Amino acid sequence: MSELNIYNCKIMKNYRSFYHNSLENPETFWRSQAEELDWFKFPREILSERTDGYWDWFKEGKLNTCYLAVDRHVNTGRGKQLALVYDSPVTGTKENYTYEDLLDKVEHTAGMLKGLGVKKGDRVVIYMPMIPQTVFAMLACARIGAVHSVVFGGFAPHELAIRIDDAEPKVILTASCGIEINKVIPYKPLIDAALEDAEHPVEHVVVFQREQLEAELIEPRDKDWERLCQAADPVGYEIVDANDLLYIIYTSGTTGKPKGVMRDHGGHAVALEFSMKYIYGIKPGEVFWAASDVGWVVGHSYIVYAPLIHGCTTILFEGKPVKTPDASTFWRVMDENKVNVFFTAPTAIRAMIKEDPEALLKKPYHLNSLRYMFLAGERCDGGTLNWLQNTLDIPVIDHWWQTESGWPMVANMPGIELLPIIEGSAGVPVPGYDMKVFDAEGIPLDSNEEGALAIKLPLPPGNLTGLWQNPDRFEAAYFKNIHGYYYTGDSAYISDDGHIFITGRVDDIINVAGHRLSTATIEEVVASHSEVAECAVIGVADILKGQIPMGFVVLKEGITKDPVEIQDELYKDVRAKVGPIASFKNCLIVDRLPKTRSGKILRQTMRSIADGKPYKVPSTIEDPVVLEEIERDLDTNWKSKMMAV
């Protein structure tokens, strides 16, 4: 056996012993992780089954998430350490907050909420941009035991109204505006329209006035943030139960009504502390940057809570990977702040590749501090992975998780052992996650067979504890498909050595003349073409074959080759690497792909457009005009061709 193979076997054994211990002795394993935190009362039970058949972690434990994230660092002599860096290229603003500064801001923000009558268990909707006050608000809610529900700033009024009616908040916290590259988006009119639409009456709307736009306040309902904070007395933390609700975060559902995912205090804190140490391999005092938004679960977990609980410096970035001002902005932020671990979505990197394929804009910056880069949110194609590895010369680690999990489920974990990085794989199961792949009838599949990925119950700490005011949907959405397992809704296969390959959503498996194919497999081939910046492949209806794959391709900047020639090359590549059964003969060259603000490609909406079905413009879309462009391209370049056939 070669030296390399001996080394690989050794590190796999170390990971496996750690992983198997988490499955064979879950209570002992997670007890030891819970002991890493400062509890006011250590849990009486580590794991206990509920009457509804689900499980609770750390029953009767007493703690406070805000205390763990802020106060304890000040109390242990680290108050002067930098806690939060606010970098806003869209406003030209940079601000630094030590842990002492952060504590002061959070105490007064909590005092403001208390002064408005917010108490433990009350809900607070936070509809704000990426500014420090958003972080203060989240921590302030946690401090007094209130339940926050962060809604991505700029969501359409109707979608905001749905969330208001579901969460029934006492207070809405907002800002006068958000900024998208160079466009100012007034938030107050959106709030007013949502409250007109909503049935639930909200007592107070607190507005942080930004200098780019001052909002008109409607008295007595509306309040000025700064005035209230200045007048508020600082308040201490509320001791809460480990199973008390920390926040509600809404995720899309198949019925059209979003699902209110609930997260507790105790399991959440234990899982996030574990993840920083073992998954991300970062130490207290180092700098962690998740380039996401606090409106999404990544922002909740890895901009706000996890880095601060672990005692890191976290970066709050108000900008885009490109156009603020260009594709160098990520490199600048990493250089200026000496970032040690960076986390973003593959779609952000693809945007950079499109504008700067040779990474020439990186040259002025020094990234010697950067040890690891993590990707999640969309499946990472080989082209993006290879570009990053060549550009950075560090481990680039794809990993996979969901809003429901709140922290990674599949990863390569340098804090345990850094395993070989395998292109196309999101890594191996994280400790606590017992994963299997099943067919459509719920029968377990062998290794290398693709099917629905599910996780044996009980789930480890940090996962959703329910859906807000909807226990029936909680059961139906996640546990009815395969008895005793959490149904992820994603398709995957597991290799012989235990690596997980996520191939897409279960409904992204298409049936081409009786052959089941994953659109992700075809996407991988298309994305590997040297002229392709990013792509999406969907299944569209076909009279003869049931479904056929259709590609949408965005080319890199500066490509002069004939698009028809590129299309022909893509068809040949897929035929050679996937096979003629793929029937990949339709591909459109487009200027851009429709995406959510978190970077996910709207494949289901594109499928509806291609099939001629009615569709609703999703509230999460970054730019609705893209859908009109896609529809126009389909009408001009594809539907007419199909009609002729």
Condensed to tens digits (0 to 9), the pLDDT of residues 276-298 reads: 999 999 999 999 999 999 999 99
At residue 31 the predicted structure's pLDDT band, cuts being 50, 70 and 90, is very high
| 173 and 251 both lie in a single domain | yes
Cβ(326)–Cβ(332) under 8 Å?
no
List the domain range (segments joined by +) for residue 596. 513-644
Section 3-30 average pLDDT: 72
Residues recorded for the chain? 645
pLDDT digits (tens, 9 = 90+) for 336-356: 999 999 999 988 998 899 999
3 in a structural domain: no
Residue 97 in tokens? 């907050």
Mean pLDDT of the chain: 91
> How many structural domains comprise the chain?
3
User: How far, in whole angstroms, is CA 26 from its chain's centroid?
Assistant: 26
Helix (H) or strand (E) holding 241: strand 240-241
Calpha distance 599→601 (Å, rounded):
6
Range name among 130-134, 498-502, 614-618 with the lowest pLDDT average: 614-618
User: What's residue 12's pLDDT?
Assistant: 47
| 552 and 499 both lie in a single domain | no
Q: At what angle do helices 132-144 and 99-115 cross, to 10 degrees?
A: 60
435 in a structural domain: yes
For position 628, which CATH number holds? 3.30.300.30
Nearest by Cα to 263 from 466, 451, 459: 466
**Number of helices and strands (H, E) in the chain?**
21, 32
For position 170, which CATH number holds? 3.40.50.12780
- Quick check: 256 pLDDT over 70? no
320 in a structural domain: no
Tokens 């009838």, located at residue? 441
Calpha distance 295→620 (Å, rounded):
11
Domain boundary among the residues 445, 474, 506 is at 506
pLDDT digits (tens, 9 = 90+) for 140-170: 999 999 999 999 887 788 889 999 999 999 9
| 188 and 54 both lie in a single domain | yes
480 in a structural domain: yes
Residue 365 in tokens? 């910056």
333 in a structural domain: no
Domain boundary among the residues 506, 525, 546 is at 506
Calpha distance 134→499 (Å, rounded):
38
Calpha distance 334→342 (Å, rounded):
8
Phi, then psi, of 511 in degrees rounded to 5:
-115, 105
User: What's residue 644's pLDDT?
Assistant: 36
| 163 and 72 both lie in a single domain | yes
Buried b or exposed e, range 258-268, using 16+ CB within 10 angstroms: bbbbbbbbbbb
- Quick check: 603 pLDDT over 50? yes
Residue 98 in tokens? 């030590």
| 485 and 570 both lie in a single domain | no
